[in-house]
């Protein structure tokens, strides 16, 4: 299955990539988008991760700004790096390490990749949909090559960045609107279903005793990730991006229904709210994840982390 990942490179994005790899899926390319952090930091995170975890696929820089909205990051929750840690952090890549960043931007790279394919493509989008929207505007002739666009974003219930909106949807609502109007085969794995998959502090214990080169780094990053919840008085942390990855790696683990969605635009009180109309399935414009085998997705995520920590 030709597979591409578009990401804003937080820790749950990283876990999602591990999950795909652990399932034996080959990633053809990675495109980066501003989201959790500004694009410069997202790029540093991706290049550092490539060095630490031996990634060999091309990495392409993408959009620095949403289509219309002012840039918004998750720094208030994730810190300036977009990847909170309880100790060791991803290294800061030096100039030599940064040389692995492709000179081709995300939009051009996506179009070359899709143009060359002989079978339908899967794109996993783990951040704001800016790159995908810009791509669909620039290359409407190639969107038919995409058989599924699985996106972690939006919510069929409450939000997390605001009471109404999930973070990835809030950052670039106009991109979501463009993707919906372009008729891309959107399969949305929203906040409400991702929140049923959880991790607890004890989940880091096995990583701590793993013997691989990056075990300590992964244990610290996982602990930092879970502290996002525990430092705010919650006992469990939701597993966002890996749930969307599981919808590709193990399709039986995530169930979808056709639905109709609209998104509230920038500049309105409910900016980024993904409003789902369940009553109009005969005029659906997307597929909405409504069921998740949360035990299975949790276990796939932890197994993938453990495998990386043992390498």
Q: What is the C-alpha to C-alpha distance for residues 308 and 214, in angstroms, rounded to an integer?
A: 7
Question: What does the chain come to in residues?
Answer: 311
Q: How far is the CB of 167 from ligand BDR (least distance, A)?
A: 4
With binding defined as CB under 6 A, does residue 126 bind ligand BDR? yes
Q: How far is the CB of 262 from ligand BDR (least distance, A)?
A: 19
Q: How far is the CB of 63 from ligand BDR (least distance, A)?
A: 15
With binding defined as CB under 6 A, does residue 10 bind ligand BDR? yes
With binding defined as CB under 6 A, does residue 6 bind ligand BDR? no
Q: Which is nearer to ligand BDR, 35 or 204 (CB)?
A: 35
300 binds, among ligand BDR, Ca ion, none (CB under 5 to 8 A by kind): none
74 binds, among ligand BDR, Ca ion, none (CB under 5 to 8 A by kind): ligand BDR
Q: How far is the CB of 160 from ligand BDR (least distance, A)?
A: 5
203 binds, among ligand BDR, Ca ion, none (CB under 5 to 8 A by kind): none
The contact set with Ca ion (CB under 5 A) reads 8, 10, 13, 126-127, 241
Q: How far is the CB of 8 from ligand BDR (least distance, A)?
A: 6
Give the Å distances, CA to CA, from 309 to 162, 204, 216: 35, 11, 8
217 binds, among Ca ion, ligand BDR, none (CB under 5 to 8 A by kind): none
Q: Which is nearer to ligand BDR, 64 or 117 (CB)?
A: 64
Q: Which of 4, 113, 151, 167 binds ligand BDR (CB under 6 A)?
A: 167
Interface stretch with ligand BDR, choices 8-16, 111-119, 174-182, 289-297 (CB under 6 A): 8-16
With binding defined as CB under 6 A, does residue 134 bind ligand BDR? no
Please count the other Cβ atoms lying within 10 Å of the Cβ belonging to residue 70: 8
Q: What is the C-alpha to C-alpha distance for residues 13 and 285, in angstroms, rounded to an integer?
A: 26
Q: Which of residues 221-260 bind ligand BDR (CB under 6 A)?
A: 240-241
Q: How far is the CB of 115 from Ca ion (least distance, A)?
A: 27
3-state helix, strand, coil in the chain (%, to 5): 45, 15, 40
Closest CA to 91 of 60, 56, 47: 47
Q: At what angle do helices 241-249 and 294-310 cross, to 10 degrees?
A: 100
Closest CA to 290 of 192, 151, 198, 186: 192
Give just the sign of the alpha carbon dihedral 8, 9, 12, 13.
positive
Give the total of residues touching ligand BDR (CB under 6 A).
Answer: 15
With binding defined as CB under 6 A, does residue 63 bind ligand BDR? no
Question: What DSSP line would sit under 170-227, residue for residue?
Answer: HH-HHHHHHHHHTT--EEEE-HHHHTTSEE-GGGGHHHHT--STTHHHHHHHHHHHHH
172 binds, among Ca ion, ligand BDR, none (CB under 5 to 8 A by kind): none
Collect all residues with Cβ–Cβ distance below 8 Å to 279 and sequence separation of at least 6.
none
Q: Which is nearer to Ca ion, 8 or 72 (CB)?
A: 8
Pairing of strands 3-7, 29-32: parallel
Q: What is the C-alpha to C-alpha distance for residues 172 and 271, in angstroms, rounded to an integer?
A: 9
Q: How far is the CB of 75 from ligand BDR (least distance, A)?
A: 11
Q: What is the C-alpha to C-alpha distance for residues 154 and 194, in angstroms, rounded to an integer?
A: 11
Residues that bind ligand BDR (CB under 6 A): 10, 12-13, 36, 74, 126-127, 152, 160, 166-168, 191, 240-241
């Amino acid at each position: 299955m030709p597979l591409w990942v578009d990401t804003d490179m937080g820790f749950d994005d990283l876990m999602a990539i591990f999950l795909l790899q652990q399932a034996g899926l080959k990633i053809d390319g990675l495109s980066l988008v501003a989201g959790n952090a500004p694009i410069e930091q997202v790029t540093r995170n991706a290049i550092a991760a490539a060095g630490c975890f031996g990634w060999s696929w091309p990495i392409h820089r993408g959009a620095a700004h949403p289509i219309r909205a002012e840039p918004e990051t998750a720094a208030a929750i994730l810190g300036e790096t977009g990847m909170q840690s309880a100790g060791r952090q991803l290294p800061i890549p030096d100039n030599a390490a940064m040389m692995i960043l492709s000179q081709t931007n995300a939009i051009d790279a996506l179009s070359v990749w899709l143009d060359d394919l002989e079978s339908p493509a899967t794109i996993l989008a783990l951040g704001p949909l800016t790159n995908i929207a810009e791509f669909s505007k620039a290359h409407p002739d190639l969107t038919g090559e995409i058989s599924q666009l699985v996106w972690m974003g939006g919510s069929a219930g409450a939000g997390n960045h605001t009471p109404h909106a999930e973070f990835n949807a809030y950052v670039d609502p106009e991109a979501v609107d463009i993707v919906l109007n372009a008729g891309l085969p959107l399969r949305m794995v929203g906040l409400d279903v991702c929140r049923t998959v959880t991790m607890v502090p004890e989940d880091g214990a096995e990583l701590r005793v793993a013997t691989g080169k990056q075990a300590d780094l992964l244990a610290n990053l996982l602990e930092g990730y879970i502290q996002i919840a525990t430092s705010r008085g919650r006992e469990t942390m939701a597993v966002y991006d890996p749930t969307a990855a599981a919808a590709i790696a193990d399709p039986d683990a995530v169930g979808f229904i056709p639905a109709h969605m609209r998104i509230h635009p920038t500049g309105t009180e409910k900016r980024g709210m993904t409003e789902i109309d369940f009553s109009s399935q005969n005029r659906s414009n997307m597929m909405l994840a409504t069921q998740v085998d949360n035990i299975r997705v949790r276990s796939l995520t932890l197994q993938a982390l453990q495998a990386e920590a043992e390498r």
